[in-house]
Amino acid sequence: MYWFIMIAFVIGVGVGISLPRAGRKGGEFDPKSLPSENPFLDEVDSTEADELREVGAVAVQDRIAKRKERILAKAKAEGRITNDGVEDLFCISDRTAGNYLGQMVDENVLIKVGNTGRGVYYEPV
């Protein structure tokens, strides 16, 4: 009984040996069966892809600008803001929060108080 099940499995699933199929040699790759052009690399679509990338980049910049506005509003309301406060506000990573705050310091929107560690906070200008 066990051998019968094993044989049925091998016949049904196969063991990696290709059998000849309609007009093909068994297991051989036929490069003529591939399409002559790659639809993903079509030159006509490249301008559309560039436009989509541009729209996406604008959307990302808008989102960052809105987040910076909310960071500044919270800093003005509370008098200060920390990296952890920005992380919690947007559910973002420590590094991303630090990037936002660093950019805002470079833009002279916030002032960094302290050098490193837990004591660092940012005040609005």
Q: Establish if 74 belongs to a structural domain.
A: no
Mean pLDDT over residues 86-100, rounded? Answer: 94
Tens of pLDDT, residues 4-18? 666 666 666 555 555
Number of domains in the chain: 1
Dist CA 70 CA 110 (whole Å): 13
59: confidence class by pLDDT, cuts 50, 70, 90: very high
The yes-or-no verdict on residue 66 having pLDDT over 90 is yes
Tokens of 37: 């052009």
Tens of pLDDT, residues 13-48? 555 555 555 555 555 666 666 666 666 655 556 788
Q: Establish if 111 belongs to a structural domain.
A: yes
Helix (H, G, I), strand (E, B) or coil at 108: coil
Q: Which of 25-29, 77-81, 88-92, 120-124 has the lowest mean pLDDT?
A: 25-29
The yes-or-no verdict on residue 55 having pLDDT over 60 is yes
CATH number for position 117: 1.10.10.10
Work out the mean pLDDT of the chain and round it to a whole number: 81
Q: Establish if 92 belongs to a structural domain.
A: yes
Q: Establish if 86 belongs to a structural domain.
A: yes
Q: Establish if 114 belongs to a structural domain.
A: yes
Q: Establish if 9 belongs to a structural domain.
A: no
Tokens of 79: 């008098």
Q: Establish if 41 belongs to a structural domain.
A: no
The answer to whether the beta carbons of residues 122 and 112 sit under 8 Å apart is yes
What residues make up the domain containing 105?
79-125
Alpha helices by DSSP H, 1-125: 2-13, 43-78, 83-90, 94-106
Q: How open is the CA angle 116-66-60, to the nearest 5 degrees?
A: 95
Q: Establish if 43 belongs to a structural domain.
A: no
